[in-house]
Amino acid sequence: MDSLKDLIFRYCVLFGKRFSYKEKIGFLRVISKELIQLGYYVDAKIAKLQLAKKKYENYYNAYIGDLDNADVIVCTYYDTGVNYFNLAKIFAFEQRFSKPRYFLGLIPVFILLAIAIALNLFVFLPDIQLSGMYSLSGALAIISTLLLFYLILKCKKGVANKKNFVSNTSSILVMLNTINKMDKYQKKRVAFVLYDGGCSNQYGIKMLENYSDKINKKKVIFLDSLGNSESLLFFKPKSFDFDAEQIEFHEGKVETTFKNYLMITSGKLNENNQVQINNAHSRNDKGLSDTIIEQHSKSLHSLLALLITPKKSKNTTN
């Protein structure tokens, strides 16, 4: 595998924006080649979510390894979201969509609409009243209005955030670096999932829950924004009876049908038992330490060793 600095450049810069269909597919193609070199096969699945009559939205999950026979499945989302211009607080493992954030993401649309109205009212319209519609001002009014409304339609979901180093490319890099540390036996016992919809409705988790009849009995680890801090935080629901030495578990949950799962993020707990992801969904999410990635990869690797079925030793006879 390439160095961590090379991986940071590839997945934070070259493929750091994964908002559109083409961007998601391009990312999955590149990372699939990386995973194949690391000894995993990748199965990409598509699901259609109906939004309205005859209107669907596609979601793409990448299933890495043998999920049905694995002891543990490690999951994180790979899609990137809308730029909220650092005006919204983003917390780990939360449902990302909300009406206030939706309108924050539409700020550029409102600005473009205001520009279109101002240009027509105060620049073009006075001259059109004097010279008529078939004039330079009339032509410019039509062209500028069409152009601005094209941009408005293109940004109807908000402006895609271009810088997504911590949220959530950092978790993807920890996943890759952890795989690089695993032996052949561990790779048989651990599967991974890169799921879609993490920045919106978590639909990729629903796709995973319906993967097979065996899937809901698995132990699952959810990762979110592991590059946020040097300090890892571990959460689990009351339904999962698991403890490990030197790991302090906080109570937490996500909306899922899985019972035995852990949640790992990094940062500091606030008074509401939440972890804020600094600079998430803004252009300031542009820094990531390879030292932190390596440190958290070692921690995840050690945790996986505790969760998988121990390898049976071969009895030797004299």
Taking alpha carbons only, the member of 86, 80, 83 closest to residue 17 is 80
The predicted pLDDT at position 67 comes to 98
Predicted TM-score of the model (pTM): 0.92
Burial of 288 (0-12, 13-18, 19+ CB in 10 A): buried
Strand order in the sheet with 42-52: 42-52, 55-64, 190-195, 72-77, 219-223, 261-266, 232-236, 249-251
Q: Which residues of the chain have pLDDT under 70?
A: 52-54, 313-318
Neighbours of 135 (CB within 10 A): 14
Measured in degrees and rounded to the nearest 5, phi and psi for residue 269 equal -75, 135
The predicted pLDDT at position 313 comes to 65
The predicted pLDDT at position 52 comes to 67
pLDDT digits (tens, 9 = 90+) for 31-80: 999 999 999 999 999 998 877 666 789 999 999 999 999 999 999 999 99
Q: Which CATH number fits domain 4-96+160-307: 1.10.150.130, 3.40.50.300, 3.40.630.10, 3.10.350.10?
A: 3.40.630.10
